[in-house]
């Protein structure tokens, strides 16, 4: 893909969502880590409802490890996979206390070693909490990147991340990550993308295909 096309995509999405940001409520790196861990296979909206009370009750890693696992499970039971996540949070907090003085490490390679923290979570934490440029690839970023041919249909999540890092200027990684999420969440949705009003239709292979299919369907109905 040509550099001009990438620039056009970034500028267009930037104009649509200039204020895109992390929608998980948090007030520090530790809360963000917990929130992102909880958000796996779960909407940010649900996570925010749960963390509203959770972050009132638990302020530090010590707070989490001082309660029985069952109690923490109950506190997050509205979240998918809550038993697993409660276990991860307990273990993660124990490691933070034992190895990092209760603080979340700033280094990506240390973050990914924490229980329940994958590459995506680590990228979100370093970019939002520590201002380190990163592109976290969630389902929205992956879907949009593939539809717009910024990545290949068969690319793995890691390959999508690498291609975006190569194509997007480093100083724009974090904001681009947020804008791609907003674009995927509110415009280029999985089921009903707004292709007919999309300013990127001219460079979107998926959109062109969908519009063609819907036109063929209309023509058939018309002639039928």
Catalytically active residues are: 120, 138
CA dist., res. 79 & res. 201, Å (int): 36
A 10 A CB-CB count for 44 gives 17
Q: What are phi and psi of 85, to 5 degrees?
A: -65, -35
Tokens of 181: 């999420």
In DSSP notation, 13-27 reads HHHH-TT----S--S
143: which DSSP letter? H
CA dist., res. 44 & res. 29, Å (int): 17
How far lies 56's CA from each of 27, 35, 51, 173, 194, in Å?
11, 13, 8, 32, 39
Provide the sign of the torsion angle of the four alpha carbons 171, 180, 156, 30, taken in this order: positive
210 with 195: CB under 8 angstroms? Answer: yes
Q: At what angle do helices 157-167 and 173-186 cross, to 10 degrees?
A: 120
R_g of the chain, CA atoms, integer Å = 20
């Amino acid at each position: 893909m040509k550099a001009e096309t990438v620039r056009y995509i970034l500028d267009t999405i930037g104009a649509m969502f200039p204020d895109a940001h992390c929608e998980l409520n948090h007030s520090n790196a530790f809360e963000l880590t917990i929130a992102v861990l909880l958000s796996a296979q779960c909407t940010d909206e649900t996570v925010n409802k749960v963390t509203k009370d959770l972050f009132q009750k638990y302020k530090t890693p010590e707070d989490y490890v001082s309660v029985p696992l069952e109690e923490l499970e109950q506190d997050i039971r509205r979240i998918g996979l809550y038993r697993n996540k409660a276990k991860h949070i307990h273990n993660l907090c124990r490691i933070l206390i034992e190895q990092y003085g209760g603080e979340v490490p700033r280094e990506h390679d240390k973050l990914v070693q924490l229980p329940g923290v994958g590459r995506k979570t680590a990228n979100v934490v370093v970019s939002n909490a520590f201002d380190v440029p990163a592109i976290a690839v969630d389902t929205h970023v992956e879907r949009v990147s593939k539809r717009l041919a910024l990545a290949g249909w068969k690319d793995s999540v890691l390959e999508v991340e690498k291609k975006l890092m190569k194509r997007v200027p480093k100083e724009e990684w974090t904001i681009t990550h947020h804008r791609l999420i907003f674009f995927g969440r509110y415009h280029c949705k999985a089921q009903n993308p707004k292709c007919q009003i999309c300013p990127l239709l001219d460079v979107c292979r998926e959109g062109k295909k969908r519009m063609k299919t819907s036109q063929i369907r209309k023509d058939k109905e018309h002639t039928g």
